[in-house]
Structure 1
Amino acid sequence: MADQSTNDTTALYPSSIPGNRKRRGALVVIGGILIHLTFGSTYTFGNMTPYITSYMRVNGVSDVSYAVSTWIISAEATGEGLAMFLGGLLERRFGPRVATFIGCFIFSAGVSIAYFTINASFGAILVTYGLMSGLGKGFGYAVPLACAMRWFPDRKGLVSGLVVGGIGGGAFIFDQIQTAYVNPLNKKPELQYKGESDRYFNQKDILSRVPICFLMLGGLYACLQIIGVIMMTNPPGYTYYEEEISVKESVDKLEGVVSINRELSKGDHRETVQREFKPSAMLKTWAFYNLWLMLLSIEQAIVFVSSLWKAYGQTFIHDDRFLAYVGAFSSVGNAAGRVLWGYIGDKTSFKVAQLSVCTSLAVFILTLVFTPFGGKPFFFIWVFLIFLSFSGTFSLLPAETARAFGSKYYTINYGLMCSADVKTFVSTVWQQDKGFFWSGRLPHEFILAAVLH
């Protein structure tokens, strides 16, 4: 059954008015940006983990270290990978607003409930702030992307970059809010355990604000998400069950992935008839597994570095406010990079753009361990460049999934693509258990993360 919002939208925004259609599409893009703005709290984990880890360790809730705390963000990635496929099914059954609302509700609830679970156990905070918020993000992540690209089918890379750019912008805003609330006097972490280079906060005034911070963030997220959900709708006349569509899109964009288009001669331009791949058909292609393995390898490095950049910075920079600025401006790189790399992918090819992303990310992670020699400026620049580099994956991959396998089953297909995130948690725990990552030795861990990437 077609989405009810299709009929409502057709009546309100007739397709015979191009200008009106563009304005309505722009509102959908803005709504997607607002929703992804809240999902950007994923990238505030690096800023929050010193507060969370210090709170649990000093108050005797758990003896968790910074390295082990990466399990939380890995659990979030796992939840996202598990739920994104289901979010696609929800959208096809109930429409984009309902699917997005369910995801946003679970996401904000997971963050808010952490007010209680941070005093329970590390496992409890892992489930709520990690897995539960990840499930919500998974339900709601792909739907705004799909809606936006349906309104602007010839600008998939740019539009996806704008929407997911909200994730980077969210970290810019919420990093500052977190630090301004939890540590307004810019106190430095003073507690250092024997045999570790890591430093922890032990000031009571700082630690007392950590649980309340979760409630504040959850409320802010919910307010922005409600506005974004209201804006979510499909273009006039859109149906989920059409088998084929014609699009003016160059077959060159599929370079290095898979050839699925048939070119038709239409005067001076090429019109491609794009077959829509059902999930079962997509899973039979080599292209899917190439993209899946690429995401798996890059996610492992992203999860580790985005979680521990601040903990590493604290070993030689004793200025919490400066580190919050590092996180904020790095999130600008995260947001701008998604738009920039999406544009580059549109102008060149997915293969060229993604290869550049992976190469630059490996180089900057590998050389991060030398930033203490350059002090604050070098650390600021390197973290910014790391976020600018890896951000490209999250605009290039959604657009390439739509190009390679069509837009009709996009939310389900992209959800299956992101099932690679599930492996991230398993890999993180296994590496910790085998001693690949160990507490108090962050420089060695960054080098290993670059090598594994």
Structure 2
Amino acid sequence: MFSMGQGAGYTAVLIVVQKWFPHRIGLASGVIIAGYGLTGFIFSPIETKFINPHNEKVNDDGYFTEENLLKRIPYMFLLIGGVTITMQIIGLTFVGSPRLTKEHGAKEEIPLKFIDVCKTSIVHICFTTLILNSTWYEIMSGLFKVYGEKFISDDFFLSIVDSMCSASNCISRIIWGLIVDKVGRLSKVHGSFMHYRFNSYVDFTFSQTYWE
């Protein structure tokens, strides 16, 4: 359900913003998806402070055992759900396609069948790139604290690390958007493909060997 909701919102917003800024698609898309990284920067310390306000440590097995801390976790899910719904409703009120005429540079859209789109090489490259990106991103963002708690007992510090990573994520999306506008979308796709292949290899190697 999370993936379905995320995918629908992600795709719809990008399609709309690209219609508003047809000559700066890279920058416009970069700014929009930068918000995805910005949320981690804002909410990671808030979530940590809410669940673990006294910076409790994990036990020798890597688990939190403090009773009050564990009781806050279900409320955290309710809080995240409420914030997400509120932000989605506010965001949807601002989503709308521009009303352009041919005099304003509007282009006639060419209808394509789903099967025809799936046969194109650019879709294959984009799909593979996103798989490489999303797999490692979801693994690292979901498990970095579990791994980090084995060596760093300060939960607040780990939340700050998460915030800094999210800030870097946010800024890099805007930078990549600017690069797209400069060098062209196709070159950017091929560059991203190699970039994520390299990052996946480095991340895996680092996680396996650094702490040994």
Paired position in structure 1 for 2:70: 207
Paired position in structure 1 for 2:206: 367
Paired position in structure 2 for 1:291: 126
Q: 1:292 and 1:133, CA in 2 relative to 1: closer, same or farther beyond 3 A?
A: closer
The residue type paired with residue 161 of structure 1 is G
How far is 1:135 from its partner? 2.2
Paired position in structure 1 for 2:197: 358
Deviations 1:355-389 (A, max 9, x none): 234324432442244554xxxxxxxxxxxxxxxxx
Deviations 1:102-149 (A, max 9, x none): xxxxxxxxxxxxxxxxxxxxxxxxxxxxxx232222222211111111
Q: Distance in 2 between matches of 1:342 and 1:158?
A: 4
Aligned length, in residue pairs = 205
Task: Give SS of 1:300's match.
Answer: helix
How far is 1:233 from its partner? 0.7
Paired position in structure 1 for 2:156: 321
Task: Give SS of 1:154's match.
Answer: coil
Paired position in structure 2 for 1:176: 45
Q: Indicate the structure whose relative CO is greater, using CA pairs within 8 Å and at least 6 residues apart.
A: 2
Q: Distance in 2 between matches of 1:328 and 1:277?
A: 41
Q: 1:202 and 1:362, CA in 2 relative to 1: closer, same or farther beyond 3 A?
A: same
Instruction: Percent identity, please.
Output: 32
2:83 to 199, 220, 223: 220
Pairing 1:233–2:96 present: yes
Deviations 1:389-447 (A, max 9, x none): xxxxxxxxxxxxxxxxxxxxxxxxxxxxxxxxxxxxxxxxxxxxxxxxxxxxxx8xxxx
How far is 1:216 from its partner? 1.4
Q: Which runs of 5+ in 1 are unaligned?
A: 1-131, 193-198, 239-243, 247-273, 373-442, 444-453
RMSD across aligned positions (CA): 2.5
Paired position in structure 1 for 2:9: 140
**Rg comparison, structure with higher value:** 1
Q: 1:353 and 1:284, CA in 2 relative to 1: closer, same or farther beyond 3 A?
A: closer
Paired position in structure 2 for 1:334: 169
Runs of 4+ in 1 over 6 A off after TM superposition: none
Contact 1:345 1:352 in 2 (8 A): no
Deviations 1:283-337 (A, max 9, x none): 2323322332333344332222222111111111010000011111111111111
Q: Distance in 2 between matches of 1:169 and 1:177?
A: 13
Contact 1:161 1:342 in 2 (8 A): yes
What TM-score, normalized by structure 2, do the two folds share? 0.85
Q: Which runs of 5+ in 2 are unaligned?
A: none
1:282 to 117, 126, 137: 117
What TM-score, normalized by structure 1, do the two folds share? 0.42
Paired position in structure 2 for 1:301: 136
The residue type paired with residue 151 of structure 1 is W
How far is 1:276 from its partner? 5.8
Paired position in structure 1 for 2:182: 347
The residue type paired with residue 48 of structure 2 is T
The residue type paired with residue 227 of structure 1 is I
Contact 2:44 2:162 in 1 (8 A): yes
Contact 2:51 2:69 in 1 (8 A): yes
Paired position in structure 2 for 1:164: 33
Deviations 1:22-68 (A, max 9, x none): xxxxxxxxxxxxxxxxxxxxxxxxxxxxxxxxxxxxxxxxxxxxxxx
Contact 2:44 2:159 in 1 (8 A): yes
Contact 2:30 2:177 in 1 (8 A): yes
Contact 1:344 1:353 in 2 (8 A): no
